């Protein structure tokens, strides 16, 4: 709620206060956004860069190509490379330049393509230059040297590698499946349960309440639930991921609260016409409940999409069934990679770029859904707290 204080004279204390308020909010805004931006930045940082660390933070979408030494006269020059030492650069008439120094270079294996390694250096006059050095395919000439435009250019190699990787695509698809079936199952179970709990004069309503709330209050824990899933034969089946959480008791109670808030008269008028309860539910209650069902559905969707624990527990040796969080964790920890996901198959992209890119791709669905969530959740959370 913005306060309009313009009509009232502000004391200096007030000015400091409002300054502090804005400063704090800016700080929070930065604190939240900087790590996320840093992740995106890292995912498009080109591989093979050995230069000052600060250069990594200055990325541009595109830049001019590296230049030859055209305006240098042919001859030998010495450049002092930061972090390495002096190298001899031999410029020939055509403007091409080579060095025979054994300076460390990054390698790219894919398709025999080689990359430039970027270095900061100073020339003999103390002027700072940037050198792009490449290992030439024909040895004897030495490594090819060019003058580089030193802004690192966006490199989407990590994204290309991930989006064409079968494991990654499978995991994304698995997460989708789990989320969709999970939400359908969850709503299919939660809505009737919540509705029946809200029927005012239902005989045994108290018993039903206890029936639902006791397991919520007394959480028996992981192992006994695991054994239930095991005895149902659902281990290594994706349904095991959403079944245990299909009726979230908290969500159920929110929905019950909403249903209790629906005027009794509406239900009565349907019942007088002799309608069965499920008809009352579908034709009268449900159309009115769209906001709460959307909200609760979104809560379930977020839960199932992000679910890590259930997949970890119940998918034991079924790699092709892994949802995205599991695969993402494997990528981040550099473990359990089977051949298709191995690091050197990513070739063009650095390991950290791949990690950052996988994080970003995993976050995209949630970020896309976020406007919808924002639209519904404040309404929904309020709705659920209305009790009859």
Partner 1 sequence: MNAQETTVLTAPKKDLWKDIKRHYSVYALLVIPAVYYAIFKYGAIVNGQIAFKNYMSQDGVWGSIWIGFSNFFEFFNSYYFVDLLRNTILYSLAKLVFCVPLSIILSVTLYECTHDILRRVVQTLAYLPHFLSWVIMYGILLVLLAPGDGLINEVIKYFGGESIEFLTDTMKFPVIVILSDAWKEMGWAAIIFIAALMGIDPSLFEAAMVEGASAVQRVWYITIPSIKPVIVTVVLLKLGTVLDAGFNQMFVLSNPAVVAVGEIIDTWVYNEGLGRAKYSLAAAVGIFKGIIGMLLVMVSNTVVKKISDSSLL
Binders of partner 1 in range 33-62 (CB under 8 A): 33, 35-36, 38-39, 42, 52-54, 56
Among 79, 150, 168, 195, binds partner 1 (CB under 8 A): 195
Q: Which stretch binds partner 1 (CB under 8 A): 4-12, 64-72, 74-82, 133-141?
A: 4-12
The residue behind tokens 């805004």 is 29
Pick from 221, 287, 317, 339 the residue near partner 1 by CB under 8 A. 221
Kindly give, in sequence order, each residue whose CB lies less than 8 Å from that of residue 166, ignoring residues fewer than 6 positions away: 340
DSSP 134-186: E--SSTTS-EEEEE---SEEP-THHHHHHHT-HHHHHHHHHHHHHHHHHHHHH
Of 343, 338, 340, 304, nearest to 324 (Cα)?
A: 304
Return the number of the residue (124 or 222) whose C-beta is nearest partner 1: 222
How many Å apart are CA 382 and CA 388, to the nearest integer? Answer: 14
In the bound state with partner 1, the residue whose beta carbon lies nearer, of 8 and 64, is: 8
Name the residue nearer to partner 1 (CB basis): 53 or 140. 53
Return the residue of 134, 237, 329, 375 that touches partner 1, per CB under 8 A.
329
Four-CA torsion 152, 154, 156, 158, nearest 10 degrees: 40
Residue whose CB is less far from partner 1, 92 or 386: 386
Cα gap 360→341, rounded to integer Å: 17
Binding mask of the shown chain, residues 129 to 168, with x at each position contacting partner 1 by CB under 8 A: ----------------------------------------
Instruction: Write down the least CB distance from residue 136 to partner 1, Å.
Output: 28
Q: Going residue by residue from 224 to 243, which x/- string records binding to partner 1, judged by CB under 8 A? A: xxxxx---x----------x
Among 218, 272, 273, 287, binds partner 1 (CB under 8 A): 218
Q: Which of 101, 126, 124, 121 is nearest to 52 (CA)?
A: 121
Angle, to 10 degrees, between the axis of helix 290-306 and the axis of helix 249-260?
170
* Residue of the chain from 378, 379, 386, 388 that contacts partner 1 (CB under 8 A): 378
Q: Mask 283-322, x = binds partner 1 (CB under 8 A)?
A: -------------------x--xxxxx--xx---------
Residue closer to partner 1 (CB basis): 54 or 64: 54
Q: Which two tokens stand for residue 195?
A: 């509705």
Q: Residue 244: CA atoms inside 13 Å, Cβ hemisphere, count?
A: 27
Q: How far is CA 333 from CA 37, 156, 243, 374, in A?
A: 21, 22, 28, 32
Taking CB under 8 A as the criterion, the residue among 106, 117, 190, 238 binding partner 1 is 190
The answer to whether 189 and 248 have CB atoms below 8 angstroms apart is no
Q: Are 156 and 61 in contact (CB under 8 A)?
A: no
> What φ, ψ does residue 92 adopt, rounded to 5°?
-105, 175
Nearest distance in Å: CB 157, partner 1: 16
Indicate the residue among 269 and 352 with the shorter CB distance to partner 1: 352
By the rule CB under 8 A, 220 interacts with partner 1: yes
Contact with partner 1 (CB under 8 A) among 85, 86, 215, 263: 215
Name the helix (H) or strand (E) containing 78. Answer: strand 75-81
Q: Which of 184, 235, 343, 363 binds partner 1 (CB under 8 A)?
A: 363
Site for partner 1 in 255-284 (CB under 8 A): 276-278, 281
Tally Cβ neighbours within 10 Å of residue 100: 14
Q: Smallest distance, Å, CB 79 to partner 1? A: 22
- Give min distance, CB of 223 to partner 1, in A: 4
| SS3 at position 58 | coil
């Amino acid at each position: 709620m913005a306060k309009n204080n313009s009509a009232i004279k502000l004391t200096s204390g007030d000015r400091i206060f409002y300054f502090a308020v804005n400063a704090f909010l800016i700080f929070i805004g930065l604190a939240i956004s900087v790590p996320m931006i840093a992740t995106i930045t890292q995912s498009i940082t080109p591989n093979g860069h050995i230069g000052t660390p600060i250069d990594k933070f200055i990325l541009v979408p595109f830049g001019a190509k590296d230049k030859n030494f055209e305006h240098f006269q042919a001859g030998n020059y010495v450049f002092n490379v930061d972090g390495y030492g002096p190298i001899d650069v031999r410029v020939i008439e055509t403007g091409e330049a080579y060095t025979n120094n054994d300076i460390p270079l990054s390698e790219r294996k894919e398709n025999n393509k080689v990359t430039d390694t970027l270095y900061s250096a100073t020339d003999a006059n103390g002027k700072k230059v940037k050198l792009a050095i490449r290992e030439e395919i024909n040895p004897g000439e030495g490594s090819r040297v060019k003058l580089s435009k030193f802004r690192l250019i966006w490199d989407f190699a990590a994204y290309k590698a991930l989006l064409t990787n079968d494991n990654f695509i499978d995991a994304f698809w698995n997460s989708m499946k789990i989320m969709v079936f999970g939400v359908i199952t969850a709503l299919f179970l939660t809505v009737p349960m919540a509705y029946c709990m809200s029927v005012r004069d239902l005989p045994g309503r108290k018993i039903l309440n206890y029936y639902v709330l006791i397991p919520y209050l007394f959480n028996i824990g992981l192992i006994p639930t695991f054994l239930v899933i095991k005895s149902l034969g659902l281990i290594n089946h994706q349904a095991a991921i959403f079944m245990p959480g299909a009726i979230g008791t908290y969500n159920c109670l929110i929905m019950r609260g909403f249903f209790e808030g629906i005027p009794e008269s509406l239900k009565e008028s349907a019942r007088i016409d002799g309608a069965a309860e499920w008809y009352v539910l579908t034709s009268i209650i449900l159309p009115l409940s769209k906001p709460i069902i959307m909200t609760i559905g979104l809560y379930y969707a977020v839960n199932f999409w992000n679910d890590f624990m259930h997949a970890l527990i119940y998918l034991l040796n079924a790699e092709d069934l892994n949802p995205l969080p599991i695969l993402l964790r494997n990528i981040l920890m550099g473990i359990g990679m089977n051949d298709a996901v191995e690091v050197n198959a990513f070739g063009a992209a650095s390991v950290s770029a791949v990690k950052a890119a996988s994080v970003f791709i995993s976050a995209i669905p949630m970020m896309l859904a976020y406007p919808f969530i924002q639209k519904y959740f404040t309404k929904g959370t309020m709705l659920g707290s209305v009790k009859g």
